[in-house]
Amino acid sequence: MAEQTDMIIGIGRRKTSTAVVKIKKGKGNIFINNKDIKEYFPLPFQVDEVIKPLTVTETAGEFDVYAKVSGGGISGNVDALKLGIARALAKYNPSLVSRLREFGLLTRDPRMKERKKYGQKGARKKFQWTKR
């Protein structure tokens, strides 16, 4: 177990988003890029997805979460934060790892956008072929 004043850091990534998450003992406040979670993610299902590691491990009101997110869009940010929080919790208390893994919260989603190939319109789309 870590000390009460220590901040535990977890890094989460998804697509092109990167989240640096710091957790410490507190009242359950969550700040993302110096904004409250409800302000940063206006939709309730996004908030639920971000705090999923805390609800699964039943530590929802125990920790204050401070996160810095950069790159990507909303969907990538949500998953990057979720992974960052889960990794920080796993570092704080290794006995939570099995519970987090059970819900697939410690697995990084490797899917990335496929690159555009030369001589093509996109990653898969080709230019229209003309016979004459």
CATH of the domain at 83: 3.30.230.10
72 found inside a domain: yes
SS3 127: coil
What residues pair up with 69 in beta bridges, in sequence order? 19
Q: Could you tell me the residue range of the domain that residue 17 belongs to?
A: 8-102
85 found inside a domain: yes
40 found inside a domain: yes
3 found inside a domain: no
Cα atoms in the Cβ-side hemisphere of radius 13 Å centred on 18: 3
What DSSP string describes 64-79?
Answer: EEEEEEESS-HHHHHH
- What's the confidence (pLDDT) of residue 5? 61
2 found inside a domain: no
Residue range 35-59: average pLDDT? 94
18 found inside a domain: yes
- What's the confidence (pLDDT) of residue 6? 82
**Residue 52, φ and ψ in degrees, nearest 5:** -55, -45
Q: Report pLDDT digits (tens) over 106-132.
A: 999 999 999 999 999 999 999 998 888
71 found inside a domain: yes
pTM: 0.88
Band (1; pLDDT cuts 50, 70, 90): low
- Quote the number of domains for the chain: 1
Residue range 86-107: average pLDDT? 94
Place of tokens 């939709």: 43
